[in-house]
């Protein structure tokens, strides 16, 4: 395909993507989608959609009463002996965490997966400030040693294959080149085990927080979040303010959904319900627990007509099923959140940098698969349309790349005479060689991968006319 000026950024990513990366992403996403359908068929045949819809209503209710539930969660956690902090943005969250570490005399952090910590770039910040911070989720660990970025919410290294990982391990001195996945995992186990046992602080995110009890629910498959709360003295949880649910009972419903939506499991291997420091008499685990609630533009999103996106539970199902994500991979979205959820959330979280990501809502055919699989039933295609509208109104240049101007169309469509004239002129297109039409950049972009069908315009009008006469007769 030849590059053209009018292509959207995401098309360029899809065009230039390394073949190995494309195959990894396409295959990985497809496999996980299929596992999700299999889990549905096996475990949730009748109630599947009802569960999604109910969970969506619970999350929407929580968002629309967030002031109440956030205050309740804060009070519950404090009653359990946890310390609660609030951060307006990422910088403030990072400073709070650094401060907690300093006050505890801590220098070594082991870190479980947290998307909000990707937003705040916590690991970089701590390392710049003299702390060590080791990612312990296998995928995130590989991202960290490669100085790369995650390309998927649940499977951060979906874009890498075993040969690339084996080379990274060899480079980092974790052993001679060996691309056997089991060897890779054993080496990571050994290396990170030592980090867990010598850490002062364990940092986790939280998938859900029950306002009623203050319980943080944290799910992993590897057990690294368990290890972030076993050998160390301090536990810090960094949590977006939208993670709340009203009651513990809601946790049961959402846990059923997140496992099958994310990876096709009935439940993820470990679901942890944490509401305070370790119990008396327990020899292991943190004596100190901190929860940092982060806004980082979530309240801005709450004020828009796209607030439904804050229901998202970060399962990644919409990425796996999305035909655009599968072709373009996560890095094409140039932000922390890729895929359909990212196409809505990333431009909104960008704040004043919205125009830079204004093309993302257009990177969709609006096929609706993302809405169909969403465990909290977010109407993603509707939200994409609202953001396209916002981009248009704000005159964001990126939003119009690859789109022919609609001004001429609007003129023709509102003037019957002009329309008739254009219809008959359309026939001239059938006699124009495609190469000549490519003078128009939009036509060139379109024709680079497709063939223009012959012009058949005006047929409907003549049919209508004949039909009307037949009726009259």
Partner 1 sequence: MNDDRDLIFSNIRKALEPLPERAPYPEWDAEMPICREHPEFAERWDLYAYKLQQVNGTPLRGLKALGEWLVAAGQTFGYCDPKLVDEVRAEPAFAGITLETEFDRARVDEYLFGITLASGAIAETGTVILKDKETSARLGALAPWTHVAILRPERLLASTAEAIASLGDDPSVIWATGPSKTADVEGILIEGVHGPGTQICCLV
Smallest separation (angstroms) from partner 1 to the CB of 63: 8
Asked whether position 267 contacts partner 1 by CB under 8 A, the answer is yes
Nearer to partner 1, 230 or 391 (CB): 230
List the one residue from 276, 316, 340, 342 that touches partner 1 (CB under 8 A): 276
Tokens 């128009």 identify what position? 440
Binding mask 92-111 for partner 1 (x = CB under 8 A): x---x---------------
Asked whether position 349 contacts partner 1 by CB under 8 A, the answer is no
Candidate ranges 26-34, 319-327, 407-415, 458-466; the one touching partner 1 (CB under 8 A): 26-34
Nearer to partner 1, 51 or 443 (CB): 51
Total chain residues near partner 1 (CB under 8 A): 101
Judged on CB neighbours under 10 Å (0-12, 13-18, 19+), 470 is exposed
Instruction: Check: CB of residue 306 under 8 Å from CB of residue 348.
Output: yes
Nearer to partner 1, 194 or 425 (CB): 194
123, two tokens: 């690991």
List the one residue from 38, 102, 171, 252 that touches partner 1 (CB under 8 A): 252
List the one residue from 21, 145, 302, 423 that touches partner 1 (CB under 8 A): 302
Q: Report the alpha-carbon distance of residue 216 to residue 248 in Å, rounded.
A: 10
128, two tokens: 């710049």
Which residues 129-168 are close enough to bind partner 1 by CB under 8 A? 136-139, 142, 155-157, 161-162, 165
By C-alpha distance, which of 305, 202, 217, 319 is closest to 267? 217
Candidate ranges 298-306, 322-330, 355-363, 386-394; the one touching partner 1 (CB under 8 A): 298-306
Instruction: Check: CB of residue 375 under 8 Å from CB of residue 313.
Output: yes
DSSP string over 104-148: TT--EEEE---HHHHHHTHHHHHHHTT-EEEE-SHHHHHHHHTT-
257, two tokens: 């959904």
Candidate ranges 1-9, 80-88, 343-351, 411-419; the one touching partner 1 (CB under 8 A): 80-88
By C-alpha distance, which of 149, 136, 151 is closest to 188? 136
DSSP state of 173: T
Q: Report the alpha-carbon distance of residue 158 to residue 326 in Å, rounded.
A: 11
426, two tokens: 């359309």
Asked whether position 330 contacts partner 1 by CB under 8 A, the answer is no
Asked whether position 282 contacts partner 1 by CB under 8 A, the answer is yes
Nearer to partner 1, 277 or 381 (CB): 277
* Max intra-chain CA distance, the chain: 96
By C-alpha distance, which of 191, 224, 254 is closest to 113? 224
List the one residue from 116, 126, 211, 229 that touches partner 1 (CB under 8 A): 229
List the one residue from 101, 133, 184, 444 that touches partner 1 (CB under 8 A): 184
Give long-range contacts, CB 8 A cutoff, 24+ apart: 394-397. 394/354, 394/355, 394/358, 396/354, 396/355, 396/358, 397/355, 397/358
CA dihedral sign, ordered 413, 418, 419, 422: negative
Candidate ranges 13-21, 268-276, 368-376, 459-467; the one touching partner 1 (CB under 8 A): 268-276
Nearer to partner 1, 11 or 222 (CB): 222
Asked whether position 169 contacts partner 1 by CB under 8 A, the answer is no
Provide the β-strand partners of residue 87: 294
Nearer to partner 1, 287 or 429 (CB): 287
Smallest separation (angstroms) from partner 1 to the CB of 284: 4
Candidate ranges 45-53, 116-124, 353-361, 440-448; the one touching partner 1 (CB under 8 A): 45-53
Smallest separation (angstroms) from partner 1 to the CB of 441: 40
Tokens 């002129």 identify what position? 425
Asked whether position 386 contacts partner 1 by CB under 8 A, the answer is no
Nearer to partner 1, 155 or 326 (CB): 155
* Residues 6+ away with beta carbon under 8 Å from 298: 240, 241, 242, 310, 349
Asked whether position 351 contacts partner 1 by CB under 8 A, the answer is no
């Amino acid at each position: 395909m030849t590059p053209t000026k009018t292509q959207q950024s995401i098309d360029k990513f899809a065009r230039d993507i390394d073949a190995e990366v494309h195959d990894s992403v396409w295959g990985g996403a497809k496999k996980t989608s299929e596992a999700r359908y299999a889990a549905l068929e096996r475990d949730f045949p009748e109630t599947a959609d009802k569960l999604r819809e109910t969970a969506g209503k619970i999350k929407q209710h929580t968002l629309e009463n967030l002031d109440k539930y956030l205050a309740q969660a804060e009070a519950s956690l404090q009653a359990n002996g946890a310390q609660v902090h609030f951060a307006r943005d990422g910088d403030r969250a990072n400073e709070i965490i650094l401060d907690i570490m300093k006050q505890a005399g801590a220098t070594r952090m082991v870190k479980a997966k947290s998307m909000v910590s990707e937003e705040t770039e916590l690991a970089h910040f701590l390392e710049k400030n003299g702390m060590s911070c080791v990612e312990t989720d296998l995928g995130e660990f590989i991202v960290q040693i490669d100085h790369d970025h995650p390309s998927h919410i649940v499977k951060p290294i979906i874009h890498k294959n075993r040969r690339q990982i084996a080379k990274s391990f060899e480079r980092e001195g974790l052993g001679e080149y060996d691309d056997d996945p089991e060897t890779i995992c054993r080496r990571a186990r050994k290396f990170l085990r030592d980090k867990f046992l010598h850490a002062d602080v364990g940092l986790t995110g939280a998938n859900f927080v029950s306002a009623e009890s203050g319980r943080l629910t944290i799910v992993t498959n590897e057990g690294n979040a368990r290890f972030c709360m076993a050998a160390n003295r301090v536990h810090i949880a960094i949590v977006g303010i939208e993670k709340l649910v009203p009651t513990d009972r809601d946790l049961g419903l959402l846990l059923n959904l997140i496992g099958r939506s994310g990876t096709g499991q009935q439940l993820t291997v470990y679901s942890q319900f944490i509401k305070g420091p370790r119990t008396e008499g327990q020899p292991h685990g943190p004596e100190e627990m901190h929860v940092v609630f982060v806004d980082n533009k979530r309240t801005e999103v709450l004020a828009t007509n796209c607030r439904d996106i804050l229901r998202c539970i970060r399962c990644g199902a919409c990425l796996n099923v999305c035909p655009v994500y599968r072709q373009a991979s996560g890095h094409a979205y140039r932000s922390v959140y890729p895929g359909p959820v990212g196409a809505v959330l990333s431009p909104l979280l960008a704040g004043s940098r919205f125009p830079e990501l204004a093309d993302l809502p257009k990177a969709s055919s609006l096929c609706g698969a993302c809405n169909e699989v969403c465990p909290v039933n977010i109407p993603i295609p509707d939200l994409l349309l609202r953001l396209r509208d916002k981009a248009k109104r704000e005159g964001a240049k990126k939003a119009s790349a690859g789109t022919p101007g609609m001004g001429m169309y609007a003129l023709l469509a509102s003037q019957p005479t002009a329309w008739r004239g254009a219809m008959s002129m359309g026939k001239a297109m059938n006699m124009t060689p495609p190469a000549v039409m490519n003078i128009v950049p939009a036509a060139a972009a379109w024709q680079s991968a497709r063939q223009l069908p012959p012009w058949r315009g005006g047929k409907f009008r003549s049919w209508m006319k004949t039909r009307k006469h037949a009726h009259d007769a």
